[in-house]
Amino acid sequence: MNSSTTLWEYRLQSEDAGQKYLSILKHKFHFSLKVLQHLKEGERVWVDGHFTYLTARGKEGEVLSLQLFAEEETTIEGEDLPLNILYEDDYLLAVNKPVGQVVHPNHRYPCQTLGNAVVGYWQGRGEHRLYRPIHRIDRNTSGVVIIAKNQFSHQQLAWQLERGHIHKRYVGFVQGLLRENSGTIASPIGFAANSFIKRQIRDNGEPARTNYRVLHRYAGVSFLEFTLETGRTHQIRVHCESLGHPLLGDDLYGGDTTLIGRQALHSSVYAFLHPATGLPLVIRAPFPADLKDLLKALKP
């Protein structure tokens, strides 16, 4: 088994007896039909070390083993770039994305992206994988980004994300002093008029909910924690502007750039269930240097 292959194993319990392996994987572990089809076509399913069919029925105590994926070629060019790894195992990679770096290559940013860095890191270890980020954060937002290392992990984490089982926490500095210590902003978001970049509150926009809590109040600045119930583009930035308290440094949404030249927003915590073990996993990203400098500059 090569370095780009992961073996997933499960010992059948009493409630699994008589069930088809296909049914166990689909209903108990939420395997997608696409992943199951790939397993079937690749003959990558074994029971107690012997090849089996997904339609066969299981017995209590059997060990079901799956070779989750083989090598996969990517069209992203690998580059030797710095990569701040927070966590890594056979199923996922968590990194602390720096300010100014785009998550995925595009026509405006074809290189020097997080995708180029991750692919280059894998290639340096002799691994060939597709780049599968679970979510994206803005170029000038720092913090946690999770990358699935195989199709199974991507499908499992996407399933959690769609159902609100992944908890994302951000911290940011906004202009002014909020009266309330906590609250929820539930305003729909859509494109601003005549713009393909800027968003705004719109009655016909997509539903969006942001919860916030004041962590500290400085002179004219509030330090907030945000938890998201939805994941719209620029959600925190737009919702903060709608409160009349834009993020410091966020010139697109009216933020003052005197103390910092980018939106003072950081993806600090990403909590979810591990795609293979089902156990809780919490990824935390420390502050980057510019936010540490901002803290020093703020007056009590």
Cβ neighbours, 10 Å, residue 257:
12
Q: What angle do CA 58, 60, 65 make, to 5 degrees?
A: 60
Please check whether residue 41 is in contact with residue 80, taking contact to mean a CB–CB distance below 8 angstroms. Answer: no
Could you confirm whether 250 is annotated as catalytic?
no
Decide the pairing of beta strands 265-273 and 142-148: parallel
Q: 16, 48, 90, 138: which one is catalytic?
A: 138
Contacts 24+ apart (CB under 8 A), 129-134: 129/4, 129/71, 129/72, 129/74, 130/72, 130/73, 130/74, 131/74, 131/76, 131/104, 133/103, 133/104, 134/158, 134/161, 134/166
Contacts with 88 (C-beta within 8 Å, 6 or more apart), sequence order:
94
Q: Which residues are catalytic?
A: 138
